[in-house]
Amino acid sequence: MDTLNLKPVFLPNQRADASVFWLGLGLIAALDALRLTITGGIGLLPWFIVLFFLAVLHANRLRDAGRPALALIVPLILGIAAKLIIGLIAMMVDYMPTFMAFLESQGVDTNDPVQTQAAAFDPGLQRAHEAYLTNNPEILRDMMVAGAWPSTWAFWIVVGLVARWFARQPSRA
């Protein structure tokens, strides 16, 4: 029985066959879930560490398949794009009731779509809204936390779809 070699998951210039590649993706996804659980999605350094190990693993898989390692940018770019789009949508969905409550506190009838839209583009109201967010930083933190898990799911689904393609490439034995 072969011994389990996890070097390709964490060290560059290795070769990762399809089995090690899938195992590595699972380990890195688990580390990412741990990162989210501990930090709540706040902080870039742990996220960059996850991206680094993901890039190393993809480069090692591509090296094993005899493909150019530069193709590792495909899952990273697509995954980050999905993460940003879904994260922004989740944050806006979470923030919308707070924004509507703010508008109502400023005397805007939120049942009137024309008045609501006009208020949203009023420079004076925008300054008041900026001051409101500055004085209530927990609102922004809550909004970021609300987008953390949905964006992470989107990222890993996209990475997993690209990984299926990478894993199916035959090893260069």
Whether residue 1 is contained in a domain is answered as no
| Residue 14 falls in which region: left (phi positive, over 0), alpha (psi -120 to 50) or beta | beta
- CA-nearest of 122, 104, 21, 11 to 56 is 11
Q: Which residues form the domain of 81? A: 7-167
- Quick one: tokens of 79? 């995954």
- Give the C-alpha separation, 8 to 60, whole Å: 6
- How high is the mean pLDDT in each 10-residue block of the chain (173 residues)? 77 91 96 92 89 96 92 96 97 95 94 93 94 94 92 97 94 77
- Quick one: tokens of 164? 């299926």
pLDDT of residue 99: 94
Whether residue 55 is contained in a domain is answered as yes
- Give the C-alpha separation, 50 to 36, whole Å: 11
- Give the C-alpha separation, 156 to 163, whole Å: 10
Whether residue 109 is contained in a domain is answered as yes
Residue 1 corresponds to which amino acid? M
Whether residue 77 is contained in a domain is answered as yes
Number of domains making up the chain = 1
pLDDT of residue 5: 82
pLDDT of residue 173: 64
- Convert the pLDDT of each residue in 38-65 to its tens digit: 988 888 899 999 999 999 999 999 999 9
Whether residue 96 is contained in a domain is answered as yes
Whether residue 172 is contained in a domain is answered as no
Check: CB of residue 139 under 8 Å from CB of residue 133: yes
Whether residue 49 is contained in a domain is answered as yes
- Quick one: tokens of 128? 């008041």
| Residue 42 falls in which region: left (phi positive, over 0), alpha (psi -120 to 50) or beta | beta
In the chain, pLDDT over 90 holds for what percent of residues?
83
pLDDT of residue 1: 39
pLDDT of residue 26: 96
- Give the C-alpha separation, 113 to 101, whole Å: 15
Collect all residues with Cβ–Cβ distance below 8 Å to 155 and sequence separation of at least 6.
79, 80, 82, 83
Whether residue 29 is contained in a domain is answered as yes
